Amino acid sequence: MLLPVDPWRADQVLSNRVRLDIVQALLSEKELHISELERSIKKPWGTVAYHLGLLEDAGIVKSEYRLGEHQSKAPVKRYYWVQKAKLREYVEAWGELPRGVLEKVARKG
């Protein structure tokens, strides 16, 4: 049985503009290579790679290495896509965060 996503963890993962831009770009396409993401969200390669790693650690993004085309500079490319079910879990947990904060404030007040 999968444990639900902690609302605070969801906030850590989803409250970053770059990560949200990556998710949106991947949702608008079936899958993208990192250089395609770099162009799509207009961020440097290192920034995109860092945030992809965090999204992948959270299970929101998955990736797969594939052989590139014959003329490609890189013989192997890594393609990324969104795990929509996992993203939904994070979004739902993130929506619970305000409720949890309000409940804690009400108890202390």
pLDDT score of 109 more than 60? no
In the chain, where the domains are located? 7-108
Where residue 69 falls (left for φ over 0; alpha for ψ -120 to 50; beta otherwise) is beta
CATH number of 7-108: 1.10.10.10
d(CA 6, CA 21): 22
List the one residue out of 65, 66, 87, 85 whose CA is nearest residue 19.
Answer: 87
Alpha helices by DSSP H, listed for the chain, are 7-14, 17-28, 34-41, 45-58, 84-108
Q: What is the pTM of this model?
A: 0.84
d(CA 1, CA 29): 30
Q: What is the pLDDT of residues 41-87, one digit of tens each?
A: 999 999 999 999 999 999 999 999 988 765 667 688 899 999 999 99
